A and B are shown apart, each in its own frame.
Chain A
Amino acid sequence: MNAPLLDVRDLTTTFPVGSNLLGRPKAKVHAVDQVSFSVARGEMVGLVGESGSGKTTVGRSILRLTQPTSGAVSFDGTDILSLKPSAFQAYRRRMQLIFQDPFASLDPRKNIEGIIAEPLSIHRLLPRAQWRDRIAELLGMVGLTPEAMKRYPHEFSGGQRQRIGIARALAVKPDFIVADEPVSALDVSIQAQVLNLLQDLQADLGLTMLFISHDLAVVEHACDRIVVMYMGRIMETANTADLYANPRHPYTRALLSAVPSLDLDRRREKIILKGDIPSPINPPSGCVFRTRCPHATEICARERPVLAEASPGHAVACLRAGEI
């Protein structure tokens, strides 16, 4: 395989919390804690986790919408975190974002033509005379008709708005897309339409995609490879088929077994985790998952597990992965 399009090394993003008498932060939350992974050209990688896992912050840090604290993000061979804003602008065109909420992410005062023209105007890719044709073409790619141009977001259903958001992201011909929960706000029958559309676009345009979701069934369906996060750290990463067939981390196992299955014969065989996700302000020592892990021993409290390859392409951050 050729060099990855995106390579994330030891990415750490912290947020200050609270403030003392002098207005200085009292503590730091490690929203993303030493996260490393890469995405090959044309690959669709799923980033899954529950609330507070840091999956959205990873996506935003890669796009520099949130300033990472340390680590490196290399895109097409360039370290984009060290670029000046003016130099980063060219990369911003190549890296686009699709949002979760199709109701909040489209400006209600602009018509669809105005919404999709905005990135064209910012990145000056095309003479203005050609915008209209390009917008019609983009609408066609996402399954809408050119008549949509003169209409406003409120005239569209959730699924149609998500298609408009996708058309806007594609307007400047990106090679990399971060899709943050792109189908989570949609009805099931509409979710399937949008998932199929994303798969088609990815294949037809040769897009590389980081697909962020809390829904394990959605990422299993859509992605080639999965990265599982918990409390800001990567627990496990593997090819999709391998991860779902042989999950090695106790968290991944519990997560997969917790997903309600349509298969009536698979009802009731569950690993039910005890307790809640701990407070990120005061994370557990050692392995962050140990407070809920059925296999935790005293070494798990002392030592922080590193992400290590257990078999080719399959890495796990668990001290006891070999025994259990």
Chain B
Amino acid sequence: MGLLSKKDAALIKDPLFDNNPITVQVLGICSALAITAKLEAAIVMAISVLFVLSLGNVIISLMRNIIPSKIRIIVQLVVAAALVIVVDLVLKAYAYNLSKTLSVFVGLIITNCIIMGRFEAFALANSPWKSFLDGIGNSLGYGVILIIVAFFRELLGTGALMGHQILGDPVKKTGLYALGYENNGFMLLAPMALIVLGIVIWVQRSKNPKLIEENK
């Protein structure tokens, strides 16, 4: 990345792989379980978190020297909540159909531990530009996992991706279903999200020895 110094690039790259907020830091699990039954919802959620986290990080970073430490968590909450409401209103006004998909998950963005976590751990102590990159990196790391999990859940659970049936028609028994394949409805329930996530973590750790803790 020619535009960014090595340190800055690491701010984006680290949370994508070695320090992924979901698979390594195990933050934001709640929403990763709740909204990954469909790929479309996962993508919308990833984009919304990207917006809220990167902008919120910048705002918190700009205010970092004037925020009273006693109420900093409340200040962070207010910033996150205000941004989410603005996003929701703008979507309702200009992308009405998209907002209908998103509206259920708005509350979940505010409660997303990653947002509060990055505000508290990074933006309060770093410059706006660095915080912005950190926000982008972490929300991308979050989004990637969300999309991977949603891909498998929607595909195996309903035989569809983005709402399009791609394995054939389960009712009329065409495509793969003609061969006796059945959708696994269990994939749509939250426990399977946890299991899929566990498999993702397993794969990542076996590929990346840095992440394996030593057994003493």
User: A and B: real partners?
Assistant: no
The interface of chain A, by Cβ under 8 A from chain B, is: none
